[in-house]
């Protein structure tokens, strides 16, 4: 198909498709003349992947570019693959103003990971991201948010099991790379959406009349 039909079938504007082509995010079509190229189903699939990462995953274009580099370098080493995709998807947060607090929080996170018996190599961006969360909470007077994070741990373990099941199930379909990318990005959005719905639902359960009666300040469990 021509670029016009590719645009129509994917809903991506022609200038945007040309931009993706220039940036190497979309593989070139088959040249049919100096000014024309032919595209096929693989281009449709790739455009859908790019749009899913941007629109559904909310990723900036630069991150999408980086993630696509891993998609284009197939590997059957799940751990290495996870590492590459996770690094692209989880850029280190800006260095904390309070270097000493940040370092102490990273030690705390690493101690927590060791205690759990989790495997984690040094320098994983999620460790510093989690440490930054703890430093911020502390600076805002929400130091006890650490207890919430500790309670999240057991929950995250269950997520990890579900996610690896998905990757393992998909490994023969189109290689694991795309499953890791799709599962990670769409999974983040799905989990955050479900978290919101669960909060509303739990709130409605605790406050069945859907609002605290006037003057009542005690929350009934």
H helical segments located in 75-144? 78-89, 99-116, 125-139
Comparing CB distances to its own copies, the nearer of 24 and 143 is 143
CA 136 to chain CA centroid, Å, is 21
Token pair 């911020």 in the structure block, residue: 136
Shortest spacing between CB 154 and its own copies, in angstroms: 8
Q: What CA–CA distance (Å, rounded) separates 69 from 56?
A: 19
Q: Where are the beta strands (DSSP E) in 58-215?
A: none
Comparing CB distances to its own copies, the nearer of 14 and 200 is 200
Comparing CB distances to its own copies, the nearer of 33 and 211 is 211
Q: State in Å, rounded, how far the first CA of the chain is from the last one.
A: 61
Comparing CB distances to its own copies, the nearer of 29 and 71 is 71
Tell me if 1 sits within 8 A of 9, measured CB to CB. Answer: yes
How does DSSP classify residue 96?
P
Q: Where are the beta strands (DSSP E) in 165-209?
A: none
Shortest spacing between CB 129 and its own copies, in angstroms: 4
Shortest spacing between CB 36 and its own copies, in angstroms: 25
Comparing CB distances to its own copies, the nearer of 18 and 152 is 152
Shortest spacing between CB 38 and its own copies, in angstroms: 22
Shortest spacing between CB 181 and its own copies, in angstroms: 10
């Amino acid at each position: 198909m021509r670029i016009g039909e590719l645009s129509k079938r994917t809903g991506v504007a022609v200038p945007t498709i040309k931009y993706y082509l220039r940036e190497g995010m979309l593989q070139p079509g088959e040249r049919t003349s100096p000014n024309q190229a032919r595209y096929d189903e693989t281009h449709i699939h790739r455009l859908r992947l790019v749009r899913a990462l941007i629109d559904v995953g909310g990723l900036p274009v630069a991150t999408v570019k980086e993630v696509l580099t891993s998609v284009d370098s197939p590997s059957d080493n799940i751990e290495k693959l996870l590492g590459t995709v996770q690094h692209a998807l989880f850029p280190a947060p800006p260095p904390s103003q309070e270097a000493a607090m940040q370092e102490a929080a990273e030690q705390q996170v690493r101690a927590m990971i060791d205690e759990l018996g989790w495997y984690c190599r040094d320098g994983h961006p999620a460790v510093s991201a989690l440490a930054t969360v703890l430093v911020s909470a502390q600076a805002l007077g929400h130091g006890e948010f650490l207890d919430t994070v500790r309670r999240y741990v057991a929950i995250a373990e269950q997520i990890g099991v579900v996610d690896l099941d998905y990757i393992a199930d998909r490994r023969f379909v189109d290689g694991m790379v795309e499953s890791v990318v799709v599962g990670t990005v769409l999974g983040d959005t799905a989990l955050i959406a479900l978290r919101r719905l669960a909060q509303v639902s739990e709130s409605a359960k605790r406050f069945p009349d859907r609002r605290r009666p006037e003057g009542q300040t005690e929350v009934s469990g």
